[in-house]
Amino acid sequence: MPHLIAVLAGDGIGPEVTAQAVRVLEAVGADLVFESALVGGCAYDATGHPLPPETLALCKRSDAVLLGAVGGPKWDNVQPVSLRPEVGALLPLRGELNLYANVRPAKTFPALLSSSPLKGDNGLIDLVVMRELTGGIYFGKPRERREDGAVAVDTCIYSKPEVERIARRAFEIAQNRRKHVTSVDKANVLETSRLWRETVIGVAADYPDVELAHMLVDNCAMQFVRNPKQFDVIVTENMFGDILSDESSVITGSLGMLPSASLSDPNRGRVFGLYEPIHGSAPDIAGQNKANPLATILSTAMMLQYSFGDFATASRIEQAVEATLEEGYRTGDIYTEGTRLVGTKEMGDAVIAQL
């Protein structure tokens, strides 16, 4: 029976890049069926809410979710804030679907090394940021304005089980990579970070083949620029992971190149996940056939790997993307003199031709 994929194209360039990703999944012959639904600003315009009940229901009965992007300046001032696309769609999706483990690989393709802001081979990185996605300061209560708006309060809270489960996912991924985990916190200042560090140390005892190191978040941000090759798998809390994963992505040369997966707990050997590029909706180029679809295409490879265990087909997609880049195809965000400038659909065509 085919796996059902919920396609939430979203706003801005989301529909363009997801369309190419679906074409790639069809080209590799994956046993999938697709059903689309509204999410984000377009959903707010159509229904008055960025995450309509029917969209959430589709996600809950699907086997995986492919998301494009949500939000844009058009909805930046929607009131209440809870109805803005990023707050009213992304956060509830993560909570309702128990998507607590955000996996963000940052890998430089050799063909794009010249686009890295780091000099020489320092820009050739291959690391994974594991970000806890459903706890911390983004979800803690109270979260409010007080004293007629003159005082704002956000609460950072973590429990030991929350830390344990993301740590275990990090160690499991490291076992299939270079067997090194760096746990990033602010244990010299924050009580939640002290709990984080103590808990990760406890989990590490179950993975004796994986080396564990600890690093304060400010030092980690510096080391990303100074020597990013030292990292294999980084595990960290929600806000730190949000910041560090974006920093790591820039080292590879373009936000338009990096995929991500947000995963739930395994259930009967299967992992439910939401797969999306890490870039935003880029409304300034929406509808112009200029967006880079490769991050979304690579997200489908992660889907095949993590949700369906199809490592071979996932590898085919990754190799097709790399071969396309080696042949010189470039969208505007990664274009350099001497390469071939193409549009969104043409980049999808080139990857499919490789497949």
Active site residues: 138, 186, 218, 242, 246
Strand order in the sheet with 32-36: 32-36, 3-10, 64-69, 270-277, 259-267, 101-107, 126-132, 233-236, 180-185, 211-216
Q: Where are the alpha helices (H) located in 102-148, listed in sequence order?
A: none
Distance CA 37, CA 41 (A): 13
Q: By three-state DSSP, how is residue 44 classified?
A: helix
Kindly state the tokens that stand for 310: 């199809």
Residues with Cβ < 8 Å from 105, sequence gap 6 or more? 126, 127, 128, 258, 259, 260, 302
CB-CB contact of 296 with 331 (8 Å): no
Assess whether the previous peptide bond of 110 is cis (omega < 30° from 0): no
Give the single-character DSSP code of 231: -
- Start-end of H helices in the chain: 14-27, 41-47, 53-61, 85, 91-96, 160-175, 191-204, 217-226, 238-251, 294-306, 311-326, 344-354
Place of tokens 């830390």: 163
- SS3 of residue 233 by DSSP: strand
Residue 29: count of CB within 10 angstroms of its CB: 9
CA distance 332 to 272: 33
